[in-house]
Amino acid sequence: MSALPTVEVPVNTGAVPVVPEPATACARALTANTTMHIVTVTTSPRLPLSQNVIRLSFLWTGSRVRRLPLPGRSLMREGRCGLFLFRRVSLRISKKGHMPATLNSLLRKHVPGLHHFLKETLARTGLPVPKMLLGRPVWTHSQLLNRRLTEPHVFRWIADNLHPGDVFFDVGAHQGWMSIVAARKTGRAGRVVAFEPSPPSVEFLSYHKTVNRLSQLDIIPKAVTNRDDAGIPFYLVGDGNAFMNSLFGTDTPEISARGKSVIEIETITLDTFSRQSGLIPHLIKIDAEGAEIWVCEGAKHLLAHNHPALIIAIHPLWLPEGQKIEDMFKLLSSFGYRIVDSDIYKYNGADFGDYLFVAD
């Protein structure tokens, strides 16, 4: 048996739990031809919490292992903290050819209890961790590691309709998943503008911009509507990271029954922002929890003269009193837009839909 040198990952946080004695867990993943991979995870309570170290020692036996590269390291500086992180740990095992596997998948398959413990512990550290997004790894906050990403069709529309150097407006960017995909597609020569009024979501957006080194991503902490204003009430659901945050309160059936708080925010129109910034979008994604019509009303100049493609989420339960889905279709039709793709599903008896529009 031979062993790789221990790889140490400094955890610069006070969130690592204190253990009464050194805890060591060995995960054994048996594959074909009796090839064995043993992963030892050790935490030491004798170290100060700010210097606690997770040691991962990789041991293996058998002659079938073709390649076991050491993980690369990425340095992120946030304030005065330097965090050394794994980019990826990948194993290549011979099994009728080459079978790629990851440490994460091996632990999840063969020792789910240890896998769950490690993920829960990591989530409390606040460290950036890799997550697959459209087949490519991106850095995300450890609290979002288990967050399931929905709307794969919207990610696909963004990837298919953006090219290097393009400009993308993300209205209702939430935590920034779609902005990350867009920034990867537009490249450094392009621009991505993420509009998000919820302060907790803006924190995640800023975090994702930093750890993924997306200099082409601009964050505008405002809501997009049909007027430029300040002191506008904005309703936060739960801790403010919910996707149901909205400009509408008691007249929105789905949100009014849930716990919420209200803050005051600034609003801006897309026409105003485009005029001030000089940016003309090639694609606009709008997911504003009922304010989609207002967003389009505030972008009439762009829609009439520049004809960007539009991805719009229309959720009937979020629409304010007096508005109907048909109003959105009529407005866009007046600017020559038509639907080229859609994804519609039932939610609480209503037809929720994501639509891709282009102008003739």
CB neighbour class for 262 (10 Å; exposed up to 12, middle 13-18, buried from 19): exposed
Cα–Cα dist 180/212, whole Å: 8
The pair of structure tokens assigned to 139 is 């850095």
Q: Give, for all 360 residues of the chain, the pLDDT tens digit.
A: 333 333 333 333 333 333 223 223 322 332 233 233 333 333 344 433 333 323 332 322 222 223 333 233 222 222 222 222 232 333 333 333 333 345 667 777 777 877 777 777 777 767 787 888 888 888 888 777 767 777 889 999 999 999 999 999 999 999 899 999 999 999 999 999 999 998 888 998 999 999 999 999 999 999 999 999 999 888 777 666 666 777 776 555 555 555 677 889 999 999 999 999 999 999 999 998 888 999 999 999 999 999 999 999 987 777 777 788 889 899 999 999 999 999 988 777 777 889 999 998
Q: Among 119, 114, 9, which residue's Cα sits nearest to residue 53?
A: 9
Beta-carbon contacts of 275 under 8 Å, excluding residues fewer than 6 positions away, are none
Residues 208-242 as b or e (16 or more Cβ within 10 Å = b): bbebbebebbebbbbbbbbeeeeebebbbbeebbb
Q: Among 343, 299, 285, 295, which residue's Cα sits nearest to residue 319?
A: 295
Domain spans of the chain, in order of start: 2-126, 152-359
Question: CATH number of the domain at 152-359, out of 3.40.1010.10, 3.20.180.10, 3.40.50.150, 3.40.50.12280?
Answer: 3.40.50.150
- Please list the helix, strand and coil fractions of the chain in percent, rounded to the nearest 5, in that order: 30, 35, 35
Contact 125, 86 (CB under 8 A): no
The pair of structure tokens assigned to 240 is 């403010």
What is the C-alpha R_g of the chain? 24
- Residue in the structure block whose two tokens are 């590691």: 145
Confidence (pTM): 0.68
